[in-house]
């Protein structure tokens, strides 16, 4: 096997950079032929992943967070190349979905053993994603976490909760017209919509707790707008996946999802934040080959 390892040194506030000697040592002592590339800025991982495909690499390894993995996925999508993930970010939800250990050593071992499986691949706003997309309040929280609290020494759910409090008083909902598989139609005043292949986002929040990453379907969670105090009271339930029993929450499964918003809103896609007012989701069953324990 010939592998390109793409390292984002800024991921996890330097965790990936600190992991680099361990990654280098483990791969150098293996039978895998590997090269390491250290990214320099946004989009660099996608470009290097595309070059790796053109150069005939069998695997491309993302050593970083969900955003780095998302860039790599957008470089290899549509090609017979295996994705490996070494979790070095703040949330690492794709690694959670892939059942990759948190330990750098153990994550590398998963790749070096060479076991693979296929999982579904999503596409929206002309980008691919491997785990989840959140629209509305949760995306505004993700934007706050990634931009306003980038230098804070916390990660995962604690970072998400801090960003949530910061976002709470500023967020304004919007009207959302949602079409599921060209049949089910909803018109709601939106707090958030999550479209998931994996179960978690935000560093382990089980927003679509029944999602199966290789069933050819999205799991969709819609939550109607509620007051700030209600958000705070229901947050503990969401952290445990118990929000699904709330009357303002709805869970659906779908092959395709179309969302039309009354205004441009933030969306977070595998750790990357974008903005849009119209989204057409399609799914590619088994479209991504990954290393798996």
User: Which domains can be identified in the chain, with CATH numbers?
Assistant: 2-114 (3.40.50.10330), 132-283 (2.60.200.40)
Angle between helices 104-113 and 15-28 (to 10 degrees): 40
Q: What residues contact residue 41 under an 8 Å CB cut-off, 6+ apart?
A: none
User: Contact 266/140 with Cβ under 8 angstroms?
Assistant: yes
Q: pLDDT tens digits for the chain (293 residues)? A: 999 999 999 898 789 999 999 999 999 999 999 999 999 999 999 999 999 999 999 999 999 999 999 999 999 999 999 999 999 998 899 999 999 999 999 999 999 999 999 999 999 999 999 999 999 988 888 787 776 666 666 666 677 777 777 888 778 889 999 999 988 788 999 989 999 999 998 888 899 999 999 999 999 999 998 777 777 777 778 878 889 898 999 999 999 999 999 999 999 999 889 999 999 999 999 999 999 99
- What are the angstrom distances between the C-alpha of 95 and each of 83, 86, 105, 123? 11, 8, 14, 19
pLDDT, one tens digit per residue, over 21-70 is 999 999 999 999 999 999 999 999 999 999 999 999 999 999 999 999 99
The whole-angstrom separation of Cα 140 and Cα 265 is 8
pTM given for the model: 0.91
Of how many residues is the chain composed? Answer: 293
CA 174 vs CA 123, 145, 182, 260, 278: distances in Å: 23, 21, 22, 10, 13
Instruction: Provide the pLDDT for residue 269.
Output: 95
Provide the 10 A C-beta neighbour count for residue 138.
30
Q: What is the structure's pLDDT at 155?
A: 63
Tokens representing residue 10 in the block:
């800024």
Residue 103 to residues 85, 95, 107, Cα–Cα distance (Å): 12, 11, 6
Strand partners, 2: 33
Q: How far apart are CA 238 and CA 208, in angstroms?
A: 10
pLDDT of residue 151: 60
Tell me if residue 220 falls in helix, strand or coil.
strand
Q: Catalytic annotation on 230?
A: no
What pairs with residue 188 in β-bridges? 176
Cβ neighbours, 10 Å, residue 157: 16
C-beta separation of 11 from 65 below 8 A: yes
Q: Which of 17, 272, 275, 280 is catalytic?
A: 272
């Amino acid at each position: 096997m010939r592998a390109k390892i793409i390292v984002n040194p800024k991921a996890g506030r330097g965790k990936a950079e600190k992991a680099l000697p361990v990654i280098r040592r483990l791969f150098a002592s293996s039978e895998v032929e590997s090269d390491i590339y250290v990214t320099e800025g946004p989009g660099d991982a996608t470009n290097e992943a595309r070059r790796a495909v053109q150069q005939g690499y069998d695997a491309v390894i993302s050593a970083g967070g969900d955003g780095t993995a998302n860039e790599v996925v957008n470089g290899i999508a549509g090609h017979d190349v295996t994705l490996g993930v070494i979790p070095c970010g703040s949330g690492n939800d794709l690694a959670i979905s892939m059942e990759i250990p948190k330990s750098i050593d153990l994550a590398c071992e998963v790749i070096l053993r060479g076991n693979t499986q296929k999982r579904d691949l999503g596409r929206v706003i002309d980008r691919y994603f491997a785990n989840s997309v959140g629209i509305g309040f949760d995306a505004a929280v993700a934007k706050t976490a990634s931009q306003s609290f980038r230098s804070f020494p916390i990660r995962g759910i604690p970072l998400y909760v801090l960003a949530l409090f910061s976002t709470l008083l500023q967020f304004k909902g919007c009207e959302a017209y949602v079409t599921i598989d060209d049949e089910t139609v909803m018109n709601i005043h939106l707090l958030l919509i999550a479209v998931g292949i994996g179960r978690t986002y935000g560093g382990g929040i089980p927003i679509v707790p029944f999602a199966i990453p290789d069933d050819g379907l999205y799991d969709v969670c819609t939550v109607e707008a509620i007051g700030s105090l209600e958000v705070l009271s229901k947050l503990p339930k969401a952290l445990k996946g118990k929000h699904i029993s709330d009357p303002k929450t709805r869970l659906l499964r779908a092959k395709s999802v179309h969302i039309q918003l009354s205004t441009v809103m933030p969306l977070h896609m595998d750790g990357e934040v974008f903005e849009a007012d119209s989204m057409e989701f399609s799914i590619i069953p088994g479209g991504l080959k990954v290393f798996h324990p």
